[in-house]
Amino acid sequence: QKNFKVVVAGAAGGIGQPLGLLLKQNALITRLALYDIAPVTPGVAADLSHMDTAAKVSGHKGPEQLDDAIKGADLVVIPAGVPRKPGMTRDDLFNVNASIVRDLAVCIAKNAPKAIVAIITNPVNSMVPIASEVLKKAGVYDPKRVLGVTTLDVVRAAAFIGEINGVDPQSVSIPVIGGHSGVTIIPLLSQSKPAVKLSDQGKIEALTKRIQEAGTEVVKAKAGGGSATLSMAYAGARLAGAVLRGLKGESNVVECAYIKSDLTEAAYFANPVVLGKNGVEKNLGYGNLNDYEKQLLKDAIPELLKNIKTGEDFAKK
Ligand code: APR
């Protein structure tokens, strides 16, 4: 199969719009369905539909048009969510985003039970367990088909290393494992190819921190105007492209992703995986860690366990 239907759920947002723009340029996509609750959604679809690339774009606004959007999907990418509003606590925000992801997963179970689901909505560490539990309840769960998008962590690490080494970041290969927030983000700088040109451990640790906190770097620079959207859309489109190349039957498609895992105590964990005809075909693990990276992993696990439990508890409610 070479003709794929891809859905973006949350397609009118800061991430969703540039993600649609990038996916419209992917030649493997024949149908691009844009779903959102925002009134502008049909307009975003009309706008993108004027691009002279093959993918046929459809716009779907509001829950009554969701079934149609999802039906027949090979891949559903989810950046739907709400930004934190004044007076909203972190828990409030979590509950709103968690409900959005849960409802989308219910609809995917009904209309496209074989679709690959790629989740961008934060907190990714908790949203993947939520979607997984919902699909499980519906009897259609396959751990190979539910992924948390951690590609931006890899993209950032490669960009920073490219800068440090004075090389094209496209030539940098660097695994980032664990999860998708703060201390759960573990860049394996010791495995960077080419090796990172930093002589002392202090600089390695500073680069590690920069990668872990890169989202905050963008939030601060945008001065109240939101969080990372353009680089996130780029990362989402890259992961989506890799999933589709895998589905098409291309071999050796490798990306990092946050998936169901038994490598550590954490039931979900990100590391390099092989993407193939059924989604995640093979977990490549994370190889040898140096002492510093072992410590980072030790620090990440409790946080990951907490995030996963929060997601699973929500899904059981
Ligand atoms: N179904 C579909 N779309 C929804 C829903 C819903 N139930 N609720 C909200 N949306 C849409 C909004 O209408 C909006 O167009 O999701 C989009 C979110 O866009 P933004 O608010 O611009 O947020 P964005 O910066 O794109 O981030 C989205 O990704 O990285 C994460 O933390 C981020 O969880 C957030 C998400």
Biggest alpha carbon–alpha carbon distance for the chain: 58
Give the model confidence (pLDDT) of 292-304 as tens digits.
999 999 999 999 9
Select from 82, 124, 128, 234 the residue to mutate for testing ligand 1; criterion: most ligand atoms less than 8 Å from CB: 82
To the query of whether residue 50 is one of the catalytic residues in this protein, the response is: no
Evaluate: CB of 274 within 6 angstroms of ligand 1: no
Q: Is the CB of 97 under 6 A from ligand 1?
A: yes
CA 260, 263, 266, 269 torsion-angle sign = negative
CA of 46 to the centre of ligand 1 (A): 20
For ligand 1, whether the C-beta of 227 sits within 6 Å is: yes
| Rounded Cα gap, residues 271 and 283, in angstroms | 8
Whether residue 1 is predicted with pLDDT greater than 80 in this model: the reply is: no
pLDDT tens readout for residues 218-247: 999 999 888 999 999 999 999 999 999 999
Q: Is the distance from the beta carbon of residue 96 to the nearest atom of ligand 1 less than 6 Å? A: no
The answer to whether the CB of 81 is under 6 A from ligand 1 is: yes
Q: Which atom of ligand 1 is nearest to the CA of 16?
A: 26
Helix %, strand %, coil % of the chain (to 5): 50, 20, 30
Interval 68-79 mean pLDDT: 98
Tell me how far the alpha carbon of residue 110 lies from the centroid of ligand 1, in angstroms: 22
Q: Is the pLDDT of residue 13 over 80?
A: yes
Q: Is 38 in the pocket of ligand 1 (CB under 6 A)?
A: yes
Report the separation in Å between the CA atom of 136 and the middle of ligand 1, taken as the mean of its atom positions.
Answer: 24
pLDDT at 89: 85
- Model confidence at 193, pLDDT cuts 50, 70, 90, reads very high
Pairing of strands 116-119, 268-276: unpaired
Any ligand 1 atom below 6 A from CB of 44: no
β-strand pairing of 268-276 with 279-283: antiparallel
Q: Is the ipTM of this complex over 0.85?
A: yes
Residue 149: CB within 6 Å of ligand 1? Answer: no
Ligand 1 centroid vs 241 CA: distance in angstroms? 21
Whether 148 lines ligand 1, by a CB cut-off of 6 Å, is: no
Report the 10 Å Cβ neighbour count for 241: 20
Of the residues 60, 61, 156, 180, only one is catalytic, namely 180
* CA 40 to ligand 1: nearest atom: 15
Among 19, 36, 84, 130, residue to substitute to test ligand 1 (most atoms within 8 Å of Cβ): 36
- Model pLDDT, residue 317: 87
Percentage with pLDDT > 90 across the chain: 94
C-alpha 40 to ligand 1 mean position (Å): 13
Question: Which residue owns the Cα nearest ligand 1 atom 20?
Answer: 13
pLDDT at 133 over 90: yes
C-alpha 24 to ligand 1 mean position (Å): 19
pLDDT band at 122 (very low <50, low <70, confident <90, very high): very high
Reported in sequence order, the residue ranges of the chain that DSSP labels E, i.e. its strands, are 4-9, 29-36, 56-61, 75-78, 116-119, 146-148, 176-178, 185-187, 253-260, 268-276, 279-283
Residue listed under structure tokens 């440090």: 164
Cα of 10 to ligand 1 centre, how many Å?
5
Whole-model pTM: value is: 0.98
